[in-house]
A and B are shown apart, each in its own frame.
Chain A
Amino acid sequence: MSSRPRPTAGVPALDIRNLTVEYGQPGEPPMAAVLDASLTIMPGEIHALVGESGAGKTTVGNALMGLLQAPGRITAGGITIGGKAVDTRTGRTEGITPGLDVGAIFQDPMTSLNPLFTIESQLCETMRHHLKLSRAAAQARALELMRAVGIPEPERRLKCYPHQLSGGQRQRVVIAAALSCDPQLIVADEPTTALDVSVQAQILKLIRALADERGVGVLLVTHNMGVVAQVADTVTIMLKGRVVESGPVAQVLGAPRHPYARSLIGAVPRIDVRMNRLQAPSEATPAADAAREIVRKQMTADTAAAGGALEVENLVVEYGGRSWLPGRSAKAFRAVDGVSFTVQPGEIFGLVGESGCGKTTVANAIAGLATPKDGAIRLSGREIGARGKHGRALQMVFQDPYSALNPRLRVSTALSEPIAFYKLAATRAEAAEDAAVLLEAVGLDRSAGERFPHAFSGGQRQRIAIARALGPRPRFMVCDEPTSSLDVSVQAQILNLLKDLRDLTGLSMLFISHDLAVVRQMCDRIAVMQAGKIVELADAETLFRAPQHAYTRELLSLAPSLDSIARAPAPAHGA
């Protein structure tokens, strides 16, 4: 592949010195999104930039990609890319050309390509603009790039539109576009967060190979410590816009020095060993303890909802297949194909698998949100699901706490509504009191009820969603990826909360996740699903120690984890 001359060895692909990025309209006190941050990436190095939401890691990436949105501006510091100094006096990055000097890889391959244009046109337009290639030359190079990023049948795929490619293939196209003008540096903002573990492993391998073979420096913005451990050479940890720790991956992840770095790494669920609790600050307060005691009494005294064993027998759910026009091919898609399992009272049962394996459909069928074609679902011996009726004994916690709460309902209204609906409180005031107790039990203040959902962070909203699910005093809770949209330290808190509630009330849970480490920490027994079927069902410990099915072994081997880095021995209990 034709290549622009590389700078002499020893010249960093990226050098950021004391970068400060501020937001704020003129006249207002500015808010620093990035404060005095420095980092250096050598050619061929993959440098991970980690931190939780609001840490400023994406702002650094955006500044480099020329995507800093007004009123954000660079107010101090210098940037050098491949030895070329960037003029930041205007507040943005003048003198570097996005696409030519810096390649970009975005998070969601499903949305980063324009649906109305062919792959070829989207690859070629960048090269024709920056490298002034002729149409034929750009097309020839596009084909080379498609081969380089490992897309099968590249000639045919070039003529395709984005929707005709899978997520993994689209991300390869995005990487090809990032590489097309042979940049010194690639900024990859959460490049695998939207992908399944097997695809994630392939994409990470590709990025590693490109760094090694082409000597391109990669700034890998991510929140996933497993990804960092697997692919990065160096890592920088940010907290509230500042760099708190930076260095080789093994050193920073293995023996973090800064307290925040320690707590962040400690909060990552481990896939190698099960711990009683995840490492997170204790939330025990007298008010919370008292509230939990009330909840425990209410729930254990509730004889109407005794039991809590869930039996799923030969469940089949199909999508599509109905068509009102005769003669149209009506092929149904079998999302769940003969799934059977039993959840014991007080058990947390895990359901894992990649996207499209049918795990969420199982949850929906149990919750009455999908109609089974065949099979039976019984809760405490009574048939449910088929008619969509399960009463209050079964409640659900959804993945996205931002859309799970009605933004127009006060939290206390959202919580007391189901309590009043099931006549669990005699008066409106009693229902409101129950709601306040539930808020305390999930670790919030009782005054939180007076506010609307937008006043809360993602983690707080998920606590509210859990409190709402507890309101009807269920015996069974379906948790569909309850922490996958949360930061790692918040995830640890929520997982601990769910465990506490199970221990407190003896409630059973179906816990759905794609994150094997989370499942290992949470679940008593685990079923692995693939293409609508359960391929392996075992004790959590047995499954992780001695996986039987080839697919389980594959999933386990692909899951990015911190295992490769020596970690401090597991403490007996969370701090």
Chain B
Amino acid sequence: MLAALASRLAQALLVMLAVTAIAFVMFRYVGDPVAMMSREDASPAEKAELRKTLGLDRPVLVQYGEFVGRVATGDLGVSFRNQRPVADLLGERLPATLELVIVATILSLSIGVPIGVLCALNPEGKAARLVQTVSLIGISMPTFVTGIALILVFAVILRWLPSFGRGDVVLVGGWTTGFLTKSGWASLVLPSITLALYQLTLIMRLVRAEMIDVLSSDYIRFARARGLPARYINFHLALRNALMPVVTVTGLQIGSLIAFAIVTETVFQWPGMGLLFIQAVSFADVPVMAAYLLFVGFLFVVINMAVDLIYTIIDPRLRTRRA
């Protein structure tokens, strides 16, 4: 168990080193930092001076080593655009995105799993067929269309909910949260539904397919032959087996939600990481882009490790053999 964990950690470190290398290459070779940072009328001497202060005249490997060292201590450089440490920028934006993603994930799991199970229990039923059709629409509708449609209906026509921003936020120990105010919650509704819709259909269809598989397995037939109540078989026994792949998919989906909530954040002007990234791209703000890349890489590595860990907890076959 410990050895497996150690080897998993070693792999994660390797991946992170590779990602750092790419971020470094981006830093070093996408555009000239000196040209971007110095005034337009700077003389060549001034530029050389700056190059030296930035340490760009030293061997590449030394620079890479230092880069890794800085990244490891949380120093992600200074944004070209607004001359502030990138770590601070990320820190400001992260809560907005995380809160949005957490709400969207809870929504999609709490609705997707039960509906998936119900569809699997009666796959030929009218309700199940209707859900299948509707979910097909949900899965094929682009996020921006659902977002704009929701804004049109609930913000413009009905005027029930705000169409953009996070509403009032409260600062709790360096973390800005919208969970504590009424307008914060109101602002969360539309973007989180927009973000959750795809997840929800994905999870629902996955749970349905897995459940149908598991329900025809020998061990579920054996449970039926032992006369256990249907509710217990379906929701206690079979669901646990069916949720195995859902753990993987949900994990990866949380990763992509955080990393790529860009469209939703743009539609709702949500002050999150996605918006930060879009702005960084349009201003060629390399430090922010590199930091974003590092962050996304780190996120996926951490999530994958967490998924592996959860797997060993729920699947006894993956634990070390004791008998």
Contact = CB atoms under 8 A, between A and B. Distances in A.
A125 interface: yes
A113 interface: yes
B3 interface: yes
Contacts, number: 85
Contacts of B321: 163-164
Contact of A130 (B3, B7, B225, B227): B227
A104 B226 contact: yes
A115 interface: yes
Interface string B308-323: 0000001111000111
A111 B227 contact: no
B224 interface: yes
Interface string B290-323: 0000000000000000000000001111000111
A129 interface: yes
Contacts of A67: 221, 224-225
Contacts of A165: 323
Nearest to A163: B317
A408 interface: no
A156 B323 CA distance: 9
Nearest to A325: B7
B218 interface: yes
B222 interface: yes
B240 interface: yes
Contact of B222 (A113, A129, A160): A113
Interface residues of B, number: 26
Interface in A126-174: 126, 129-130, 156-157, 160-161, 163-165, 174
Contact of A129 (B3, B232, B240): B232
A129 B314 contact: no
Contact of A328 (B3, B241, B314, B316): B3
A203 interface: no
B228 interface: yes
Given A98-B226, A104-B226, A129-B229, A111 B219 contact: yes
Report whether over half of chain B's contact residues are helix, strand or loop; otherwise say mixed: helix
B223 interface: yes
A67 B218 CA distance: 11
B218 to A, nearest CB: 4
Contacts of B237: 114, 117
Interface residues of A, number: 35
A250 B241 CA distance: 46
Nearest to B236: A125
B228 A125 contact: yes
A478 to B, nearest CB: 31
B133 interface: no
B5 to A, nearest CB: 13
A104 B232 CA distance: 19
Given A104-B222, A112-B219, A125 B227 contact: no
Interface string A81-124: 00000000000000001111010101010011111111000000
B217 interface: yes
A100 to B, nearest CB: 6
A177 interface: yes
B317 A115 contact: yes
B224 A66 contact: yes
Given A97-B227, A99-B228, A115 B316 contact: yes
B174 to A, nearest CB: 40
A168 to B, nearest CB: 14
Q: Counting chain B CB atoms within 10 Å of each CB, which of A100, A102, A104, A160 scores highest?
A: A104
Given A117-B237, A161-B316, A164-B323, A112 B227 contact: no
A317 interface: no
A76 B232 CA distance: 32
B224 A116 contact: no
Interface string A315-335: 000000000010010000000
Contacts of A178: 226
A126 B316 CA distance: 21
A428 to B, nearest CB: 41
Given A114-B241, A129-B232, A163-B317, 18 more contacts: A67-B224, A97-B227, A98-B224, A99-B228, A106-B218, A106-B221, A108-B218, A113-B219, A114-B219, A114-B220, A115-B219, A115-B315, A156-B323, A160-B323, A163-B321, A165-B323, A178-B226, A328-B3
Interface of A: 65-67, 97-100, 102, 104, 106, 108, 111-118, 125-126, 129-130, 156-157, 160-161, 163-165, 174, 177-178, 325, 328
24 contacts: A65-B224, A65-B225, A99-B228, A100-B227, A106-B221, A111-B218, A112-B222, A113-B222, A114-B219, A114-B241, A115-B316, A116-B240, A117-B237, A129-B227, A129-B232, A157-B323, A160-B322, A160-B323, A161-B316, A163-B316, A165-B323, A177-B226, A325-B7, A328-B3
